[in-house]
Amino acid sequence: MRLKMSLTMTEPQQSIEVFVFDAIMSSPGSQFGHAAIDIDGTTYSRAHTKYAKLGRDDYITSNLTRVKRDVVSLTLRVTRQEKAIIKAELDKRVAAQAPYDIAVNSCSTNVADVLEKVGILAHDPRFQLMPSSTKLVTPKELLIVLSRSDRLIKRTNYSKSK
């Protein structure tokens, strides 16, 4: 009896990072914290004034030293195709510059929306009474749900400068 052996080529592991920042009580809209996504060194961040693309290292350093808030980085496993879909969707949102809305167009709702487009659960469905009518997701909810994801590769905590 002869066994057939076949080699399957596996795609190299791809990843993205989701940043979840702690709250800043003195900053309007930042009382619940903040969230952003990084793809290959470009961070996509929805703020009150605009949706921006920023360099990862400068963005993290600025938040730790100037803004003085802690950040948790969640590195998630994605396929090359999922990463391309996420990047294209984020670029589309940056170009659109839709007005900020805490319930449907905030930092964390954007992160959750984009991740869920590729099948990564980013909200706790138990907290949404009518999921078809609300998108509200807080940074804390993102942190909890993504920390439990089977896509999680690594969690890194960065502490603000005193």
Q: Spell out the domains of the chain, with CATH numbers in brackets.
A: 14-157 (3.90.1720.10)
Q: How far apart are CA 109 and CA 107, in angstroms?
A: 6
Closest CA to 59 of 42, 75, 34: 42
Q: Is the pLDDT of residue 32 over 80?
A: no
pTM of the model: 0.83
Q: Which pLDDT does position 153 carry in this prediction?
A: 96
pLDDT tens string 86-127: 999 999 999 999 999 888 889 999 999 999 999 999 987 776
pLDDT tens string 44-64: 999 889 999 999 999 998 888
Closest CA to 114 of 137, 148, 140, 144: 137
Q: Which pLDDT does position 81 carry in this prediction?
A: 96
